[in-house]
A and B are shown apart, each in its own frame.
Chain A
Amino acid sequence: RKEVEQDPGPFNVPEGATVAFNCTYSNSASQSFFWYRQDCRKEPKLLMSVYSSGNEDGRFTAQLNRASQYISLLIRDSKLSDSATYLCVVKPGGYQKVTFGTGTKLQVIP
């Protein structure tokens, strides 16, 4: 089983739609979780951290389910500018490196 798994997509959604991505991780000792966004031919950029109780940043909501070992990202009222690849990132405790998923591609269409 891969350390971090994501559905590669693409997810094609109309503007204004709500879309959700899931990401599963295999290491039950993982302690920190993040979502990154990567635009075509650009570097990944930190979108948001994922906290145990769930957290929201504008139209974006991130949630963590430790029992089932997955995190999710919900995007409400999708904009054309949300089109990108969304990378799930998982970090074990201490000084161990983060692990990136392969990413989920989102295409918001007019």
Chain B
Amino acid sequence: ETGVTQTPRHLVMGMTNKKSLKCEQHLGHNAMYWYKQSAKKPLELMFVYNFKEQTENNSVPSRFSPECPNSSHLFLHLHTLQPEDSALYLCASSQESGGAPFFGPGTRLTVL
């Protein structure tokens, strides 16, 4: 595997479900990110991790919970989501925090 991979690619969940999104980067980068992209809106940065430490949380609701066990893996745990949380969730990495991010293919999430 090369680049940034994400699983699952598509996810449909009910508002009471709990699920996790997984991201893995094979680029040797030190920073990892979660972005949200909704229809007709700009990319929204959710979380930033630098060397496994969370350095930014952009007022994201607590129903989204990130986890970064090491510099190569990033998770986004989801619980009691709302229909308005339906979006494309993109994981990205960069050599250092703030560098031009390299994106994974994204997880298209639908909350029913």
Q: Report which A residues bind B (CB closer than 8 A).
A: 32, 34, 41-46, 49, 87, 89, 91-92, 94-98, 100-103
A103's partner among B42, B55, B97 (CB-CB below 8 A) is: B42
A34→B103 CA distance, assembly (Å):
14
B86 CB–A CB distance under 8 Å: no
Residues of B within 8 A of A (CB-CB), count: 23
A95 touches B42 (CB 8 A): no
B42 touches A102 (CB 8 A): yes
> With A97-B56, A102-B41, A103-B42 as given contacts, are A43 and B104 in contact (CB-CB < 8 Å)?
yes
**Contacts between chains A and B (CB distance < 8 A), count:** 47
- Sorted nearest first, the 5 A-B pairs with minimum C-beta distance are A43-B103, A95-B97, A102-B42, A100-B43, A95-B98
B90 touches A43 (CB 8 A): yes
